[in-house]
Amino acid sequence: MKYLIAFFRFILLAFFTTFWWILGMICFYLSRNRLKTSERMVKQWAKTALKLLSVKIDFYGELPLVPVIVMANHRSYLDVMLILSMHPAAIVGKKELSRWPVIGQAVEVARMILVDRSNAKSLMHTMALIGKEVKNGNSVIVFPEGTTYPGPLTGNFKGGTFAVAVQHQVPVLPCAIHLTDVNDAWIGEDPFLFHFLRQMGKRKTQVKMWFGEPVLAKDAHQLIDRIKNTIDQKLNEFAL
C-alpha cells in the first residue's frame, strides 16, 4: 500500500511542480523585481512540496536577518526543499541535480549554480558566481560535503566556498539536517525513483532542522573546522 501512496505523491508532486514552474516563469519574466519574485515562488513551492510529501519539520534556531552562505550537511533530495522552505536563496549543486525528476525542473525557477566537481574550470567558474551573488547581497545555499552522506555526522567538507566567504567577509550559517528514519537518506547508487517509492509512502517523514548563528572568519581552514564541528555537535544532539 505504501508504494501506491508514494507513487500517487510522486505524480501529484510532478503535476504541481510543472504547474508552479510554468507560473513561476511567467511571473519571473513579468516582474519588476525578479529576485523577490523568485524567492517567493521558490519558497512557496518548497513548502507545498513538503506538505504533499507529508514531511514534518521540527525547526530550531533563528532565520538569518542578513545575507549569508548557508552551509548544510547533505542527506537526501529533501534537503533542497527543506532549506528553501525556510530561507530561499541561490543553490549550489552538482550538475546532475538539474536532471533529477521533479527537483531539477523546480529549481530552474530559482537562481541555481551548477558545478561539475570533476572539472577545474567549472569549479573556478562556480566560485566566481558565488562571489558575485554574495557581493550583490544575496544568500547562497551550499552542501560542502559535495554529495549525500549517510551520517551519522558529516563527511569531509570541500573548502572552496569557505574561501569565498572569507574573501568577501560574508557570514556562514551552519545548518544541521537530521532524518529521524535513517533509511530516508538517499546515498550511493540507489536510483531516485526506487528510493522515493520505498520511503515516501509513509504516514509522515520526520525531519529535524537547525539554523545556527552566522559566523564571520578571517581564515578558511579555521572556518571549515568551526562550521563542521558545530553541525556535528547538533547532529549528535538530534540523534539522542
Answer with the residue of higher pLDDT: 35 or 174. Answer: 174
Answer with the residue of higher pLDDT: 25 or 5. Answer: 5
Domain, as residue range, for 121: 2-239
- Cα dist from 29 to 34, 58, 91, 118, whole Å: 7, 35, 20, 33
Q: Which grid cell is 107? A: 529549481
Residue 224 scores a pLDDT above 80: yes
The CATH number that applies at residue 123 is: 3.40.1130
Kindly state the average pLDDT of the residues 71-80.
Answer: 95
For residue 152, cis peptide bond before it (omega within 30 degrees of 0): yes
Q: How confident is the model at residue 55 (pLDDT cuts 50, 70, 90)?
A: very high
Q: Could you give the number of structural domains in the chain?
A: 1
Name all contacts of 187-192 with Cβ < 8 Å and 24+ positions apart. Answer: 187/148, 187/149, 187/150, 192/77, 192/100, 192/101
Count other Cβ atoms within 10 Å, centred on residue 171: 17
Q: What integer pLDDT is reported at residue 38 of this predicted model?
A: 83
Cβ atoms 10, 105 nearer than 8 A: no
- Beta strands 172-179 and 205-211 are antiparallel
Kindly state the average pLDDT of the residues 144-163.
Answer: 92
Cα angle for residues 159, 81, 232 (degrees, 5° grid): 45
**Sign of the torsion formed by the C-alpha atoms of 90, 94, 97 and 99:** positive
What is the gyration radius of the CA atoms in the chain, in angstroms? Answer: 17
Identify the DSSP state of 149: -
Q: What integer pLDDT is reported at residue 101 of this predicted model?
A: 58
Kindly state the average pLDDT of the residues 205-211.
Answer: 98
Question: Strand, helix or coil at 95?
Answer: helix
Residue 207 scores a pLDDT above 80: yes
Q: Which amino acid is at 4?
A: L
Interhelix angle 160-168/120-135, nearest 10 degrees: 30
Identify the DSSP state of 213: -
Kindly state the average pLDDT of the residues 171-199.
Answer: 94
